[in-house]
Structure 1
Amino acid sequence: MPSKPLSKPLAHLTSKYLQSASLQCGLPLTGSKPTLMSNLRAAAAAPTTLTPTSRILSIDLGLRNLAFALLTPTHTPKKQHNLTLRAWTRLDLLPPDLNKPTHDFSPPSIAHLAVSLLHTHLLPLSPTHILIERQRFRSGGAAPVLEWTLRVNALETALYAALATLRHLEVWEGRVVTGEEATRGKARATGSKAMKLAKIRLVEASLREGKAVGLGTDEVREAVRRFLAAGESRGRKKGGKKAEGEGVETVETDDGKKRDDLADCLCQGVAWLQWQRNLEDLKKKEPWILESAEEMLE
């Protein structure tokens, strides 16, 4: 990305440059040059400046498999990590109930579930930004809309409504960010399995190196240990062999079954944080991004 400020970018910037800048900031890559510039200006004007007290809660939404990661940015240059992982877990919002063979997915029930999730698990983490991955309307590109998809979409809507109410009542002053942009490029249809595996491998490598993400609590360190152990255990079982004297470690939870949800929420949070940093750098390098469309045409 060019570092020299441009006084009149409309005459000098190319679509390729604007697409590159958009990619670095997690924005759409399609559209005319004015559209790309408008997207960049709108993103720059949004109040997303990160501070040492920012707490980003990234959620991969689901009913059976909801995962979230709480991240805080690091602004001290001498720190080894750019961010710290403060919480990382997966929840089953529909625990088995022997007295109720079927679950109630009526609007009042979904509303209660959303409020309970916020009150019990999410708001106690004191997030300043909540990223909610936007849910699809169809599964695998199929024409029918699956009933389970509608249920998750209902939970998504209930969460937005509850958070909007809390903001209106000034009970919570944070910001909700739709994770549609934070999952840009996410594979669809036949490529989804490969993408899920790629994300898991990416998270595994990053956590093993211990450079990109700091581990802020004992609970997080245990969650990371189990995440990595589940991958090692599954790898040994799949290969059908194990090293001499090596036993297959028993994973205490079922994190190995849905590690893609844990990987998704962490990747979404890390990507969004990096995009905000790139946007801040862009505002410093390219002053035009803060100008109005009229000022740029002068």
Structure 2
Amino acid sequence: MYGWYMIGDNCWTPVHPMLKLKNEALKKLCLNCGLAQTGNKSSLVASIQSALDSRRRDTEILSIDMGVRNLAFCHMAHDNSGKVTIKRWALVELDKEGLPNAFEQPKFAQLALDLVSELRPQGVDTVLIEKQRLRSNGLNNVPEWIAKVNLLEAMLHAILQCQKRMGLYDCSVRSIEPARVMNYWIRPDKITAAKTANIRYRLTKQAKMDLVSSWMCHDPPFTIEPEASHSWDGQKGKRDDLSDSLLQSLAWVRWSLNLELLGSAEDEYAILKVLDTMEKDHNRIFTGGML
């Protein structure tokens, strides 16, 4: 994915074709590939190229949405054409009383071990864990519930990496920024224009549930096994967590497919054509079209 340009009379040097694109196009590429959209042109291109170089094919994805009292997960499979099947999709009660009241590491460790056993990552290619924030609405102090969820998140990563090193399974464990998932799916101006963080949070939360609800009521961009569909039907009060776990895994599928498309583009014109395809695919899936 390189062209050539001349410096001086006889000096030629390689140039990445993405450097010929405008920043707006580069940011859209980052959006459609699950990458950060901040930085100058060179850093954006470097981020995209790094993602292209490190991409790996996966067909089985386990997506985890962290929570204080409940944890939602979605086990999704997809083939090379992008056809998606939801195999497992459920809420897990962390404890009848929520996370341990005190910061007792042995209790958190046992809870994390029990969770990994219930999530069953064997045979999964990629595990996605929602990255937790360290602040809430700009507060200087870290609320206790955030500290607890961060502790559980860290233990899940540690257990999965340890068991992977022991050879129990061979999967990639990824920490996913929830904002990148949200920005990929939900792009209306009214959310970004909201005056406060609380209003943005409520609008985003409702928009994500509305999107998944519309899919479930009509023709979803995936097939879903009967046992998995029961989770949605029987959890009307916790559909926000289920929505997050589904959208995170489905976004990962789209990002992976988009990187595959982008990797085949040889010049800036082909890249722009791929970007147009990415945007059209997003709009089609957003309105309920199959992957």
When normalised by structure 1's length, the TM-score is: 0.75
Match of 1:13 in 2: 21
Shift of the 11–120 alpha-carbon distance from structure 1 to 2, 3 Å rule, reads: closer
Structure 2 counterpart SS, 1:258: helix
The structure with the largest alpha-carbon Rg is 1
Q: Does 1:225 find its partner at 2:233?
A: yes
Match of 1:122 in 2: 120
Shift of the alpha carbon at 1:273? 0.9
Shift of the alpha carbon at 1:11? 5.6
Match of 1:269 in 2: 249
Q: Is the 8 A contact 1:133 1:178 kept in 2?
A: yes
Match of 2:54 in 1: 46
Structure 1, unaligned runs of 5 or more: 227-254, 289-298
1:72 pairs with one of 49, 67, 77: 77
Shift of the alpha carbon at 1:208? 1.8
Shift of the alpha carbon at 1:96? 4.6
Structure 2 counterpart SS, 1:177: strand
Q: Is the 8 A contact 2:62 2:128 kept in 1?
A: yes
1:139 pairs with one of 136, 148, 153: 136
Q: Aligned AA for 1:207?
A: M
Structure 1 counterpart SS, 2:121: helix
Shift of the 215–91 alpha-carbon distance from structure 1 to 2, 3 Å rule, reads: same
Q: Does 1:84 find its partner at 2:85?
A: yes
Cα separation, 1, equivalents of 2:115 and 2:266: 41
1:205 pairs with one of 208, 214, 219: 214
Structure 2, unaligned runs of 5 or more: 4-14, 192-196, 269-291
Shift of the 113–88 alpha-carbon distance from structure 1 to 2, 3 Å rule, reads: same
Shift of the 10–21 alpha-carbon distance from structure 1 to 2, 3 Å rule, reads: closer
Q: Is the 8 A contact 2:60 2:126 kept in 1?
A: yes
Q: Aligned AA for 1:33?
A: K
Cα separation, 1, equivalents of 2:56 and 2:35: 14
Q: Aligned AA for 1:116?
A: D
Q: Does 1:178 find its partner at 2:166?
A: no
Shift of the alpha carbon at 1:120? 2.5
Q: Does 1:37 find its partner at 2:45?
A: yes
Q: Aligned AA for 2:251?
A: A
Shift of the alpha carbon at 1:55? 1.0
Shift of the alpha carbon at 1:213? 1.4
Structure 2 counterpart SS, 1:48: coil
Instruction: After superposition, give the CA deviation of every residue in 1:111-152 in whole Å (9 maximum; x if it has no partner).
Output: 11111110123335x321111000011223322211111111
Structure 1 counterpart SS, 2:236: coil
Q: Is the 8 A contact 2:19 2:41 kept in 1?
A: no
Cα separation, 2, equivalents of 1:203 and 1:48: 27
Shift of the alpha carbon at 1:221? 2.6
Match of 2:205 in 1: 196
Structure 1 counterpart SS, 2:264: helix
Structure 2 counterpart SS, 1:87: strand
Instruction: Provide the alpha-carbon RMSD of the alignment.
Output: 2.4
Cα separation, 2, equivalents of 1:159 and 1:256: 27
Q: Aligned AA for 1:69?
A: C
Cα separation, 1, equivalents of 2:205 and 2:70: 15
Q: Is the 8 A contact 1:18 1:36 kept in 2?
A: yes
Moved over 4 A (4+): none
Cα separation, 2, equivalents of 1:57 and 1:177: 10
Higher relative contact order (CA 8 A, sep 6+): 1
Q: Aligned AA for 2:76?
A: L
Cα separation, 1, equivalents of 2:207 and 2:19: 40
Instruction: After superposition, give the CA deviation of every residue in 1:73-102 in whole Å (9 maximum; x if it has no partner).
Output: 1335xxxx83111111111111259xxxx7
Q: Aligned AA for 1:84?
A: T
Cα separation, 2, equivalents of 1:37 and 1:285: 14
Shift of the 219–12 alpha-carbon distance from structure 1 to 2, 3 Å rule, reads: same
Q: Does 1:152 find its partner at 2:157?
A: no
Higher strand fraction (1 or 2): 2
Shift of the alpha carbon at 1:194? 1.1
